[in-house]
């Protein structure tokens, strides 16, 4: 894959999260991004609002890292728009690389080309809700 392919965003996303690299992570997003995140807020409007969440997330990890694995990735692409969706596993790793915990959710990215790279203009993460308990299901 080249930077001209929207799928390169997934590899860059995985690397930026593992490295806790705020700048590399935010470089994937358009300035006007809208994010429907699974945690805490209904929506983040704009890159600066999203940056605040990312700084808090990466900062909360201490010496831990997060390994991101994408499964069932599918891409639908038109000339000026791409939609990528996948099942995602986020695993918390100790400083020594030992898996401490994991969770699954669903991720949809809507992307547009911007100069020589694709940028995420909308992100939506979700997980199903158990109707009996009204709790989010974070394991497949």
- For residue 91, the domain's CATH number is 3.10.450.50
Q: Residue 137: inside a domain, yes or no? A: no
Q: Residue 134: inside a domain, yes or no? A: no
The reported pLDDT for the residue numbered 4 is: 56
pTM here is 0.91
Q: Residue 111: inside a domain, yes or no? A: yes
- Better pLDDT: 44 or 140: 44
The average pLDDT across 10-30 equals 97
Q: Residue 34: inside a domain, yes or no? A: yes
pLDDT reading at 32 higher than 70: yes
**CA 102, 106, 69, 72 torsion-angle sign:** positive
Q: Residue 22: inside a domain, yes or no? A: yes
Range of the domain at 12: 8-126
d(CA 106, CA 61): 22
What are 92-96's contacts with CB under 8 Å, separation 24+? 92/61, 92/64, 92/65, 92/66, 93/64, 93/65, 93/66, 93/67, 94/63, 94/64, 95/63, 95/64, 95/65
Q: Residue 140: inside a domain, yes or no? A: no
Q: Residue 131: inside a domain, yes or no? A: no
Give the total number of structural domains in the chain.
1
pLDDT reading at 14 higher than 70: yes
The reported pLDDT for the residue numbered 112 is: 95
Say how far residue 105 (Cα) sits from the centre of its chain. 10
Q: Residue 51: inside a domain, yes or no? A: yes
């Amino acid at each position: 894959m080249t930077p001209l392919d929207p799928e390169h965003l997934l590899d860059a996303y995985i690397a930026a999260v593992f490295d806790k690299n705020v700048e590399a992570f935010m470089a994937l997003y358009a300035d006007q991004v809208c994010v429907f995140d699974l945690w805490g807020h209904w929506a983040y409007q704009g890159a600066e609002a999203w940056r605040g969440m990312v700084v808090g997330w990466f900062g909360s990890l201490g010496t831990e890292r997060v390994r991101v694995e994408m499964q069932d990735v599918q891409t639908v692409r038109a000339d000026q728009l791409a939609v990528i969706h996948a099942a995602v596993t986020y695993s918390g790793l100790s400083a020594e690389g030992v898996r401490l915990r994991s969770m699954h959710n669903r991720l949809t990215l809507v992307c547009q080309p911007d100069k020589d790279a694709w940028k995420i203009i909308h992100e939506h993460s979700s997980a199903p809700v158990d109707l009996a308990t009204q709790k989010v299901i974070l394991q497949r």
